């Protein structure tokens, strides 16, 4: 009997490990070629004699109509110099983030053969957290002053749910999310269920692109908020069912459960303990359930109708 139980638990352990390693792929044979340029270093260490060279090196960052006097004033601005000094304390050595970006680009290239790694340019943006990452097919801008750590005094006036993602480990996740936006065609299905699953597809792409990142980092939850989401998944799903929300087209549900927010709005006493975007998280679990039960490619998943994904997912919330 004892041997039977040992075998049983070993089997469960192996199955669990198999699920976790599903997204671990060998990218050792994939070569990515990209260059990292440190604009903020070149700019804030510059002087009048080197400005012209900077314009030639970064033509997209110097509008022709802007007078040189504006750039000189910016270089010597006390507040901007302080931002630069603080960012250099963390990012003077950029090798850790460079390694993570390399790994990300390798994984994207594995799943999307036409993907070309963009040129990476680090900048400072006066902590414009709405545009901390800007991505085109050829260039990727990363605003380093938005990633100085959640306890940095520069962020004292920011909401807590924003501050907790102002960290170095979030850079590669935010980059991945920007690239994912270009891979996703808008859905015509306006139901709450379809919106959840559409967002779930994006999060599932993070599973594939960043397999070594934790779920909490990928979705951007603190440990406390993530633990709440795990513990209350069944209750959240029951709430959606009992309140007939799945096939509702009420756009107010976006702010309550899809958009970035300090917490989700169930209109209950427990709301403040919940993380925002619980609709996204439920959609993520539905997509994961679908991919575990159906042998389809990533490209097929992205093109599938959300209703079909839901029906074939046989999703059951975590208890």
Single out the residue in 157, 183, 209 at which a domain terminates: 183
Closest alpha carbon to 187 in 176, 195, 178: 195
Instruction: Look at residue 166 in the predicted model and tell me its pLDDT.
Output: 97
Residues 206 and 76 in one domain: no
Task: Specify if 208 maps to a domain.
Answer: yes
Q: Mean pLDDT, the chain, as a whole number?
A: 93
Task: Give how far the C-alpha of residue 183 lies from the chain's centroid of Cα atoms, to the nearest Å.
Answer: 14
Q: Is residue 85 part of a domain?
A: yes
Q: Look at residue 171 and tell me if it is in a domain.
A: yes
Residue 122 belongs to what domain range? 36-183
* CA–CA separation, 102 and 106 (whole Å): 6
Q: What pLDDT was estimated at residue 48?
A: 81
Nearest by Cα to 240 from 188, 197, 299, 291: 197
Confidence (pTM): 0.91
Q: Which two tokens stand for residue 121?
A: 């340019």
Q: Give the pLDDT of residue 34.
A: 96
User: Is 83 inside any structural domain?
Assistant: yes
Q: Are residues 261 and 307 in the same domain?
A: yes
168 and 227 co-located in one domain: no
Same domain, yes or no, for 60 and 117? yes
Burial class (CB in 10 A: 0-12, 13-18, 19+), 40: buried
How far, in Å, are 63, 76, 181, 270 from residue 44 at the CA level?
18, 8, 32, 47
Task: Give the pLDDT confidence score for residue 22 in this predicted structure.
Answer: 63
| Cα R_g (the chain), whole angstroms | 22
pLDDT for the residue numbered 129: 86
Residues 113 and 210 in one domain: no
DSSP characters over the chain: -HHHHHHHHHHHHHHHHHHHTTT----TT------EEEHHHHHHT--TTTHHHHHHH-GGGS-TTS-HHHHHHHHT-HHHHHHHHHHHHHHSS-HHHHHHHHHHHHHHHHH-TT--PPEEEEE--SS-GGGSEEE-SSEEEEEGGG-S-TT-GGGTTS-HHHHTT-SGGGHHHHHHHHHHHHHPPPPS--SHHHHHHHHHHHHHHHHHH-TTS-HHHHHT--HHHHHHHHHTHHHHHHHHHHTT-TT---THHIIIIIS--SS---SSGGGGGSPS-HHHHHHHHHHHHHHHHS---HHHHHHS-HHHHHHHHT-----
Q: Are residues 196 and 179 in the same domain?
A: no
The reply to whether 80 and 202 lie within a common domain is no
Let me know whether 176 and 201 are in one domain. Answer: no
Query: Is it the case that residue 13 has pLDDT exceeding 90?
Result: no
- Is 19 a member of any domain? no
Look at residue 15 and tell me if it is in a domain: no
Task: Kindly state whether residues 169 and 203 are assigned to the same domain.
Answer: no
Pick from 183, 212, 234: which residue ends a domain? 183
303 backbone dihedrals φ, ψ, rounded to 5°: -90, -10
Q: CA distances (Å), 160 to each of 3, 87, 118, 164, 212, in order?
A: 50, 21, 32, 6, 25
Rounded average pLDDT over 217-237: 97
Can you give the pLDDT at residue 183?
Answer: 87
Give domain status of residue 21, yes or no.
no
pLDDT at 21: 55
Q: Are residues 52 and 179 in the same domain?
A: yes
For residues 73 and 179, membership in a common domain is answered with: yes
- pLDDT of the residue at 16: 45
Q: Where does a domain end: 125, 150, 183?
A: 183
What is the band of 205 on the pLDDT scale with cuts at 50, 70, 90?
very high
Retrieve residue 303's tokens: 């093109």
Look at residue 8 and tell me if it is in a domain. no
* Residue 54 scores a pLDDT above 90: yes
Greater confidence (49 vs 255) lies with 255
Q: How many domains does the chain have?
A: 2
Say if residue 128 is in the same domain as residue 259. Answer: no
């Amino acid at each position: 009997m004892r041997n039977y139980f040992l075998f049983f638990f070993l089997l469960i352990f192996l199955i669990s490990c198999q699920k976790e390693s599903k997204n671990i792929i060998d990218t050792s044979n994939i070569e990515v070629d990209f260059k990292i340029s440190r604009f903020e270093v070149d700019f804030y260490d510059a002087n009048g004699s080197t400005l012209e060279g900077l314009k030639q090196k970064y033509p997209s960052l110097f509008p022709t109509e802007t007078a040189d006097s504006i750039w000189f004033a910016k270089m010597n601005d006390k507040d901007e110099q302080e931002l630069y000094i603080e960012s250099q304390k963390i990012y003077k050595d950029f090798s850790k983030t460079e390694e993570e970006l390399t790994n990300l680009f390798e994984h994207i290239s594995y799943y999307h053969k036409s993907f070309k790694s963009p040129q990476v340019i680090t900048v400072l943006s006066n902590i414009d957290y709405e545009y901390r990452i800007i991505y085109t097919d050829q260039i990727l801008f990363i605003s380093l002053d938005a990633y100085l750590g959640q306890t940095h005094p520069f962020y004292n006036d920011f909401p807590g749910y924003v501050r907790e993602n102002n960290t170095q480990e979030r850079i590669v996740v935010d980059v991945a999310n920007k690239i994912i936006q270009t891979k996703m065609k808008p859905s015509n299905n306006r139901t709450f269920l379809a919106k959840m699953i559409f967002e779930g597809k994006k999060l599932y792409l993070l599973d594939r692109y960043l397999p070594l990142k934790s779920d909490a980092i990928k979705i951007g939850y603190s440990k406390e908020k993530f633990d709440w989401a795990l513990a209350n998944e069944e209750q959240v799903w029951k709430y959606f069912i009992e309140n007939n929300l799945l096939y509702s087209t009420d756009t107010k549900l976006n702010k309550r459960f899809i958009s970035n927010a300090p917490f989700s709005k169930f209109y209950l006493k427990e709301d403040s303990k919940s993380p925002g975007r619980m609709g996204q998280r439920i959609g993520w679990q539905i997509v994961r359930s679908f991919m575990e039960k159906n042998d389809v490619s990533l490209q097929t998943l992205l093109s599938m109708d959300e209703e079909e994904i839901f029906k074939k997912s046989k999703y059951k919330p975590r208890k």
